[in-house]
Structure 1
Amino acid sequence: MRAAAMAAAALLLSACAGLGPPEVEQVASAFAGADPSARCQMLAPATASALEGRQAESCVQAMSQLSLPRGAVVSSTVSGDQAQVRLVGDTVFLTRTSDGWKVTAAGCRSQADARYDCRLAGP
């Protein structure tokens, strides 16, 4: 289910290729280099809740157990309130909220069928 949602997001975002606004790249880059507590603050609420629910522990505890790649920004695409930022070794998905851009999925790797398998993803 999670992979199917990521595939739909990838198809939507691929329709608007090109450099995205610096904000999405800054958020994705900051997320990649942040500690678990800061990463939790950058998550979309539904993603944070899903992480806590799957791991049955706090966001910070669950995040500290995830091994997410750290890398420089390679490219980004934005389509409306959704964005995809490709980093060296990772793809991060974001959504625009009233509090700015928030991470909805990270640790994502493209699969052969254009879907993404993500270590961290919302519902």
Structure 2
Amino acid sequence: MRTAVRWAAVLVVLAGCSDVHLPEAQQVASDFAAGDPVTRCDLLTEAAVRAVEHEEPTGCPVALEELPLGAGGVVSAQVWGQEAQVQLTDDTLFLSRTADGWRVAAAGCEASGQGRYDCLVEGS
């Protein structure tokens, strides 16, 4: 499974910067990067899990195990309202704040120019 989805950085610029939630978003990104496939699936948004399972019917953990997702440390993070972008040493993650806290909405993202990203995992 290798799907490419475009994320526009302007989508995450919804409101003023919110430093209050920055540590929480960074922690979820760190947990995702360090996690095994089951832990990573637990940290995805519901939409991202559905998208992954649509591509790989055997389940989210199997699908994520096959993808070259980053496992590096947090380099930088930005939070805009209910959305965040976290740059790892080897990946870019997009997070959304849900009723369950911060969850990864897109992972395996690489900049493709003009503020756009191609992502291996994405849930709208």
TM-score interval for Structure 1 and Structure 2 normalised by the shorter chain: 0.7 to 0.9
The alignment partner of 1:21 has SS state of: helix
Deviation at residue 64 of structure 1 after TM alignment: 1.2
The match for 2:31 is 30
TM-score (norm 1): 0.87
Contact 2:72 2:89 in 1 (8 A): yes
The 5 Å alignment of 1:55-70 reads: 55-70=56-71
**RMSD between superposed Cα atoms in Å:** 2.0
- Separation in 2, partners of 1:64, 1:2: 19
Question: What do residues 55-106 of structure 1 show as CA deviations (whole Å, max 9, x unaligned)?
Answer: 2221111111111111111111111111110111211000011110000001
The match for 1:99 is 100
- Separation in 2, partners of 1:108, 1:114: 12
- Separation in 1, partners of 2:88, 2:17: 15
The alignment partner of 1:96 has SS state of: strand
Aligned residues: 119
- Separation in 1, partners of 2:11, 2:115: 12
- Separation in 2, partners of 1:53, 1:14: 28
Q: Which has the larger strand fraction?
A: 2
TM-score (norm 2): 0.86
Q: Which has the larger helix fraction?
A: 1
Contact 1:31 1:42 in 2 (8 A): yes
Deviation at residue 14 of structure 1 after TM alignment: 5.6
The match for 1:54 is 55
Letter of the 2:5 counterpart:
R
Structure 1 gap ranges (5+): none
The answer to whether structure 1 residue 2 and structure 2 residue 5 are counterparts is yes
The alignment partner of 1:104 has SS state of: strand
Structure 2 gap ranges (5+): none
Identity %: 44
Deviation at residue 18 of structure 1 after TM alignment: 8.5
